[in-house]
Chains A and B, each alone.
Chain A
Amino acid sequence: MSAFPVEQVADLSTAADAAHAVSPWVALAYLAAGVLFILALRGLSSPASSRAGNRYGMAGMLIAVVTTLVTHEIASLPEIVAAIALGGGVGWIIARRIAMTAMPQLVAAFHSLVGLAAVLVAVAAFLNPSAFGILGMDGNILAVSRIEMALGAAIGAITFSGSVIAFAKLNGNMSGSPILLPGRHVINLGTLVGILGATAAFAMAANAGPGEGWLFWALLAAAFAIGFLLIIPIGGADMPVVVSMLNSYSGWAAAAMGFTLHNTAMIITGALVGSSGAILSYIMCRAMNRSFLSVIAGGFGADAAIAGEAREQRPYKSGSAADAAFMLEQAEKVIVIPGYGMAVAQAQHALREMTDLLEEKGVEVKFAIHPVAGRMPGHMNVLLAEAQVPYDKVFELEDINSEFAQADVAFIIGANDVVNPAAKTDKTSPIYGMPVFDVDKAKQVFFIKRSMGGVGYAGVDNDVFYMDQTMMLLADAKKMVEDIVKAFD
């Protein structure tokens, strides 16, 4: 800290500390930005406080950018303003136009940009270390900075290439099914060890002046490759975990660069984002009863098609929209379980209309959301909010699961695996142990499904189809719900 005279700071990084010897006001400004970022996340503890939280985040970013600009000699202000205007304009337009159903791929795309920006900053620091105050007296980049830079660049590169693949899978540019290379675990582990080894060798290299040393470039290339290799074997159903994990990586990349720059705002933010992504990954894995390692190892859902074909035909009951409308009107309590199929069919607005009409008739309607419904954490909540479903009618799995015994109707629309009782009973099932909704306890189950052919992502048959109280409503979800609305008198 510059509160101490520079000569008192008698450690190896004296030169760096001289360069980092900024005014305490600057350090305080970055600290304030970091605290505002903490408040931005804190605001999300409830929808009521969340909007203020978002404004804290914007204020924090403004403080960080302005502080940086006013405390550095700027040799190229017009170019910087142009870059901000260009990027900002593009980002703003995308944010205005993007459909809420496309939010997972948007977030993946944004992660890739953070990753790439981190790589570029690390490369710039490598080429021009004196600008970052990390050039030692001996003309070499400081060893500790070399480690931080290499880690920042590597994590950024993994975030970038991994997010590009996640984006392509979520956006449908690439098949969601896993791509399994032979010996991929060996290749991946070998590459990871190689990156760490190159980082260590780079830190210990005798000649490490600005831009010197092929090790940095080699580890960067290896990191791009492993981001790609890590994500291609992971199937579409596991994308929520992947997106959360990449969210976490983008944070660690920012933190690593924060270490290089000795910048409090970047370190605090990196730690926040890193923990956030890690916790979301954990929540998603727990909701699927899978270990993080088994998700990352990939391959889940690869044999889905085979399992689907091997099923025997069993009798089931199907009904019409009019049947469903009649029974819904007679019900006292209806619990709606939406899944990603609802979003694909764009049925959320029709669904909200249907539930509004039911409430007018005195029926109690609640929505039940599984943590892994949709393609990213909380995705289904956003889609329902967009359709103007009040958030106080939307419940999480553990809060509502005990209520199915009192429900007259469980209305399943576009969900499948999250209501499959095999998760509770069948030890051989790929989804065994996953917490699921107890729809079998409801008096009546309506299951909207396009046809009897397809099965969920896990590729397992669902006993709910064949229960006595189940009525299959086989149609496009949006059309079926609209027909039910029409059938209400």
Chain B
Amino acid sequence: MDFISILSIFVLACFVGYYVVWSVTPALHTPLMAVTNAISSVIVVGALIASAAAGSPSAKWLGLVAVALASVNIFGGFAVTARMLAMYKKKDKPAPATEKQA
């Protein structure tokens, strides 16, 4: 791909990001940060290429460290997002704590 094609993808993706993020409900801004954190770990692609390549041992080890760091973020980011999202509920059942008090 030449530079202009890549730049086009980038610029259009910025616009997509702009509209998609404005449509996120403010109640979910914390999960939004957690999940953007997780997906920005797509940098792991670069880390994998560096650690997979032969030729430079130092580059390989730097790549492996980057793979480990990005993995913390991928697993941690998606897991913590899932944990938060599971807590958002509508009022559809009587809250359990009220019965013993009343």
Q: A residues near B, CB below 8 A? A: 1, 9, 11, 13, 17, 20, 33-34, 37-38, 40-42, 44-47, 50-51, 53-54, 57-58, 60-61, 64-65, 68-69, 72-77, 79-80, 83-92, 94-96, 98, 100, 103, 106-107, 110-111, 113-114, 116-118, 120-121, 123-125, 127-128, 130-132, 144, 210, 243-244, 247, 250-251, 253-255, 257-277, 279-280, 283, 352-353, 356-357, 360, 369, 371, 376-379, 381-382, 385-386, 388, 390-394, 396, 485, 488
Contacts and interface: CB of A to CB of B under 8 A. Distances in A.
A460 B82 CA distance: 39
Contacts, number: 412
A280 B29 contact: yes
Nearest to B19: A275
A124 B49 CA distance: 9
A260 B37 CA distance: 21
B76 A110 contact: yes
Contacts of B10: 255, 258-259, 267, 270-271
Given A54-B78, A80-B51, A120 B69 contact: yes
A60 B39 contact: yes
Given A87-B72, A117-B41, A124 B33 contact: no
Nearest to B77: A110
A117 B33 contact: no
Q: Considering residues A33, A124, A385, which has the most beta carbons from chain B within 10 angstroms of its beta carbon?
A: A124
A271 B11 CA distance: 8
Given A76-B51, A83-B67, A390-B91, A117 B9 contact: no
Nearest to A261: B46
Interface string B20-45: 11111111111111111111111111
A50 B65 contact: no
Contacts of A269: 39-40, 42
B32 A392 contact: no
A125 B46 contact: yes
Contact of A87 (B45, B62, B70, B79): B70
B40 A251 contact: yes
Main secondary structure of the interface of B (DSSP, over half): helix
A392 B90 contact: yes
19 contacts: A33-B42, A41-B17, A57-B39, A57-B81, A79-B60, A92-B76, A95-B83, A100-B84, A125-B46, A258-B10, A267-B10, A269-B42, A270-B13, A276-B21, A276-B33, A381-B29, A385-B89, A388-B87, A391-B27
A324 to B, nearest CB: 17
Q: Considering residues B14, B17, B56, B60, which has the most beta carbons from chain A within 10 angstroms of its beta carbon?
A: B17
B82 A83 contact: no
Lowest 4 CB-CB distances: which A-B pairs, in order? A91-B76, A87-B71, A378-B29, A131-B53
A6 to B, nearest CB: 12
B20 A38 contact: yes
Given A130-B55, A271-B17, A393-B91, A106 B27 contact: no
Contacts of A396: 26-27
Contacts of B36: 41, 247, 251, 272-273, 276-277
Contacts of A120: 47, 50, 62-63, 65-66, 69
Interface residues of B, number: 89
B98 A61 contact: no
B99 to A, nearest CB: 10
B25 A47 contact: yes
Given A87-B69, A125-B46, A132-B49, A485 B89 contact: no
B48 A65 contact: yes
B78 A41 contact: no
Given A45-B25, A376-B30, 4 more contacts: A51-B82, A76-B52, A253-B40, A264-B9
A86 B43 contact: no
Contacts of A127: 56, 58-59, 62
Contacts of B86: 51
B23 to A, nearest CB: 5
A417 B42 CA distance: 39
Contacts of B69: 87, 113-114, 116-117, 120
A117 to B, nearest CB: 4
Contacts of A360: 98, 102
Given A91-B79, A95-B76, A360-B102, A280 B43 contact: no
A210 B41 CA distance: 25
Nearest to B84: A382
B95 A86 contact: no
Contact of B49 (A51, A131, A371, A392): A131
Contacts of B74: 61, 87-88, 91
Given A50-B85, A87-B72, A88-B72, A44 B31 contact: yes
Contact of B54 (A73, A80, A116, A117): A73
Contacts of A54: 31, 35, 78, 81-82, 85
Contact of A381 (B28, B39, B53, B92): B28
B43 A96 contact: no
Contacts of A79: 51, 60, 64
A258 B77 CA distance: 20
